[in-house]
Amino acid sequence: MDIFTISFLIVINLVTLLLCWSDKRAAVNHTRRIPERLLMLLTIAGGSAGMLAGMLIFRHKTRDARFRITVPVVLVAETIFCILFYTLPHNA
Classify residue 53: in a domain, yes or no: yes
Residue 73 forms part of a structural domain: yes
Q: What secondary structure, in 3-state letters, does the chain show?
A: CCHHHHHHHHHHHHHHHHHHHHHHHHHHHCCCCCCHHHHHHHHHHHHHHHHHHHHHHHCCCCCCHHHHHHHHHHHHHHHHHHHHHHHCCCCC
Tell me the residue range of the domain where 35 lies: 3-87
Domain annotation covers residue 92:
no
Residue type, 2: D
Q: In this structure, is residue 67 part of a structural domain?
A: yes
Closest of 31, 11, 23 to residue 57, by C-alpha: 23
- Residue 30 zone, left/alpha/beta (φ > 0; ψ -120 to 50; rest): left
**Tally of domains within the chain:** 1
The pTM of this model reads 0.90
Let me know how long the chain is: 92
Residue 19 lies in a domain: yes
From first to last of the 92 residues of the chain, give the pLDDT tens digit. 889 999 999 999 999 999 999 999 999 999 999 999 999 999 999 999 999 999 999 999 999 999 999 999 999 999 999 999 988 887 65
